[in-house]
Amino acid sequence: MSPLFPALRTADRKEALRFGERSLTYAGLAGAAGALAARIAGAGRVAVWATPSLETAVGVVAALLAGVPAVPLNPKTGERELAHILTDSAPTAVLAAPGDVLPPALEALTRIDVVPEAGAGALPVEPHDAEPHDAESPALIVYTSGTTGPPKGAVLPRRAVSGTLDALAEVWAWTPDDVLVHGLPLFHVHGLILGILGPLRRGGSVRHLGRFSVEGVARELSTGATMLFGVPTMYHRIAEVLDTDRELAKALAGARLLVSGSAALPVHDHRRIAAATGRAVIERYGMTETLMNTSVRVDGEPRPGTVGVPLPGVELRLADESDGIGEIQVRGPNLFSGYLNRPDATAAAFTEDGWFRTGDMASLDADGYVRIVGRKATDLIKSGGYKIGAGEIENALLDHPGVREAAVTGEPDADLGERIVAWVVPADPQAPPTAEELAAHVAAQLSPHKRPRTVRFLETLPRNDMGKIMKRALGNG
Ligand code: MCA
Ligand code: AMP
């Protein structure tokens, strides 16, 4: 297989990456990532302490050059989830920035500091020389939540990464001249594969905001950035201030492409942004296991409420249709190779004839535009663009001594799309734990974005004759 990042061969002075005040040219990236690749070659698997930083980008590129699968870790992952990911993925080393303080769970691993300077740390190598030629070799392992149990590691081969990025390049006319801005986290597909590896594969540039802010978006789009990637929560926050922020409206109006994904962008926010800027936000639809499936094309008609058409090379069908609505199933070079250590879950994710079951329910417009209308599993919650399983939060809550019973649902939320709600029967009704205490417990065990935003105390949970909790009887859940 050809190299993932051809622009590293020319290694010129063009800016590749910028995080705040710090940046790296293609020459700098080739040197730094090439040197690190030489150090980690043959390392088995490496974990990457995926802070929103230059070090994360260099670390992941180095792993790809070395042919060593990278496991990006959310630096805010709580104890229980981190322990699971480390046991499951068994990395031999962890890549981190020199100043990063790592949790005790990572102490058993060899720590390798990432130094984003050309030639730092070891002998520079020709970056493409060590790259594996096998398109099926695993590039990244990205953990993703299911309805129950701990997150599963989706094994993403090099073929899927290059395939999805090249398909997006075609439909978005994405070129080396594009400068992307975003503030997405770097431990998921959206921020890392699309948002960092995407510009690098094109030989373009990316400016990362460190953390998302409306001001940062306005500043970068008015000073040379051409594209914006975000989750709907980010576009909602933009839409909320557009009426009063003329600079922001001007900056968005001048962008070449505004792309939203990870969850549905409400039609109301689409309309507010279009009215204030004259620009339509383009939606694309993907999943950790499938990378990108569909998108509105840059030369196509944006249609709020739809996620566009299948990308080149992706086959899409609706299964078990009734009243025009069916489950989206996909096939193509964009798909993962399976869940790590979970042949059972991998087999269950595919139909007998080899199509991947997304669990998303949709209808098709007459011209093939896909309209997502919901999800098969009510126990999956999308909050802020993060996928969260109700079961993992329930298990964490049940571990708290103040909780006798717990059920978790998602409720509509204008900012987050869905808000996590915990329904709790306290162990001692006279002295229930506080909502803050339970949120902090979930944040410390799993991850802060999985914490309940609302806690409602009950005397009992509604159950059916079989003893199963009836979530539909709980408020809107
Ligand atoms: C608050 N915080 C806490 C607690 N409460 N920390 C510990 N314990 C607590 N009890 C901290 C949080 O960690 C955070 O810190 C800060 O307070 C604010 O938290 P929060 O309110 O959760 O943040 P937010 O402002 O509401 O976040 C909104 C967001 C975020 C920025 C939109 O949800 C986000 O980045 N979403 C992106 C999700 C994403 O990339 N999804 C892609 C997966 P701090 O701010 O320092 O962190 S989907 C995918 O990849 C597929 C393929 C696809 O299609 O794209
Ligand atoms: P994740 O497993 O975190 O990668 O999230 C994948 C899920 O996000 C998909 O199965 C969809 O439910 C949802 N998703 C991603 N993009 C969109 C979109 N543009 N519109 C609606 N849902 C989306």
| Residues 433, 402: Cα–Cα separation, whole Å | 6
Beta bridge partners of 138: 157
Of the pLDDT bands very low, low, confident and very high (cuts 50, 70, 90), residue 452 is very high
Q: Which of 254, 250, 366, 358 is nearest to 306 (CA)?
A: 366
pTM of the model: 0.96
CA of 222 to the centre of ligand 1 (A): 26
The confidence score (pLDDT) of residue 126 equals 56
DSSP class of residue 405?
E
Domains in the chain, ordered, with CATH?
378-473 (3.30.300.30)
Residues lining ligand 2, CB < 6 A?
A: 144, 189, 261-264, 283, 285-288, 307, 358, 360, 372, 375, 382, 387
What distances in angstroms separate CA 298 from CA 169, 170, 243, one per listed residue?
10, 9, 26
Mutate to test the pocket of ligand 1, among 190, 287, 289, 330 (most ligand atoms within 8 A of CB): 190
CA of 449 to the centre of ligand 1 (A): 5
What are the strands of the beta sheet with 315-322, ordered from one edge? 315-322, 325-331, 356-364, 370-375
Per residue in 19-63, pLDDT tens? 999 999 999 999 999 999 999 999 999 999 999 999 999 999 999
| Residues 114, 33: Cα–Cα separation, whole Å | 9
The confidence score (pLDDT) of residue 235 equals 98
Residue 126 dihedral angles phi and psi, to the nearest 5°: -65, 115
Closest-CA residue, ligand 2 atom 23, reads 263
Strands 315-322 and 325-331 come out as antiparallel
Q: Can you say whether the dihedral through the CA atoms of 297, 302, 307, 308 is positive or negative?
A: negative
What distances in angstroms separate CA 172 from CA 68, 135, 225, 300, 309, one per listed residue?
30, 24, 15, 10, 13
Per residue in 75-117, pLDDT tens? 999 999 999 999 999 999 999 999 999 999 999 999 999 998 7
